[in-house]
Amino acid sequence: MKEGPDIARIAALIGEPARANMLTALMSGKALTATELAGEAGVTLQTASGHLAKLRDGDLVQVRKQGRHKYFALAHADVATTLEALMGLAAGQGALRTRTGPKDAAMRQARVCYNHLAGQMGVQMFGSLLQRGLIWQEGEALGLTEAGKGFVCDFGVDVDGLSMARAPLCRSCLDWSERRTHLAGSLGRAMLARMETLDWVRRDRDSRALLFTSRGSAAFSRAFT
Amino acid sequence: MKEGPDIARIAALIGEPARANMLTALMSGKALTATELAGEAGVTLQTASGHLAKLRDGDLVQVRKQGRHKYFALAHADVATTLEALMGLAAGQGALRTRTGPKDAAMRQARVCYNHLAGQMGVQMFGSLLQRGLIWQEGEALGLTEAGKGFVCDFGVDVDGLSMARAPLCRSCLDWSERRTHLAGSLGRAMLARMETLDWVRRDRDSRALLFTSRGSAAFSRAFT
DNA sequence: TTCATAGTTCGACCTTAACCGAAGCATTGA
DNA sequence: TCAATGCTTCGGTTAAGGTCGAACTATGAA
In tens, the pLDDT along B167-223 reads: 677 777 666 666 567 888 788 888 998 998 999 998 877 677 888 998 999 999 999
Is A115 a residue whose pLDDT tops 70? Answer: yes
How many C-alpha atoms does B62 have within 13 Å on its Cβ side? Answer: 14
Q: What is the percentage of chain A residues whose pLDDT exceeds 70?
A: 84
Is A27 a residue whose pLDDT tops 60? Answer: yes
Domain boundaries, given as residue ranges, for chain B: 7-75, 79-223
pLDDT tens digits along A75-84:
988 899 899 8
**Amino acid code (one letter) for A68:** R
pLDDT at position A15 is 96
pLDDT tens digits along A200-217:
998 877 677 888 888 989
H-run or E-run covering A149? helix A146-155
Contact B86 A82 (CB under 8 A): yes
The nucleotide lying nearest B45 (C-alpha to C1') is D7
Q: How far is residue B76 from each of residues A213, B61, B73, B123, B185, measured CA to CA in Å?
A: 39, 8, 8, 21, 11
Is B158 a residue whose pLDDT tops 90? Answer: no
The whole-chain average pLDDT of chain B stands at: 82
In angstroms, what separates the C-alpha of A42 from chain B's closest C-alpha? 8
CA–C1' A40–D27 (A): 24
Contact B85 A89 (CB under 8 A): no
Contact A8 B16 (CB under 8 A): yes
Query: Is A225 or A180 the better-scoring residue by pLDDT?
Result: A225
Q: How confident is the model at residue A1 (pLDDT cuts 50, 70, 90)?
A: very low
The three-state secondary structure class of B49 is helix
Instruction: Say how far apart CA A201 and CA B30 lie, in whole Å.
Output: 48
In B, which residues are within 8 Å of A104 by CB distance? 3
The residue among A167, A185, A166 whose CA lies nearest residue A81 is A185
* CATH code linked to domain A7-75: 1.10.10.10
Q: Is the CB of B61 under 7 A from strand D?
A: no
Crossing angle of helices A34-41/A17-26, nearest 10°?
120
Nearest to B12 among A16, A89, A140 (CB): A16
Choose the mutation target among B7, B97, B98, B120 for the interface with A, i.e. most A CBs under 10 Å: B7
For chain B, give the number of residues.
225
Choice among A160-174, B112-126, B147-161 with the minimum mean pLDDT: A160-174
Q: Considering only alpha carbons, which residue of chain B is nearest residue A182? A: B139
- Give the mean pLDDT of B27-36: 84
The nucleotide lying nearest A35 (C-alpha to C1') is C6
Q: What is the percentage of chain A residues whose pLDDT exceeds 90?
A: 28
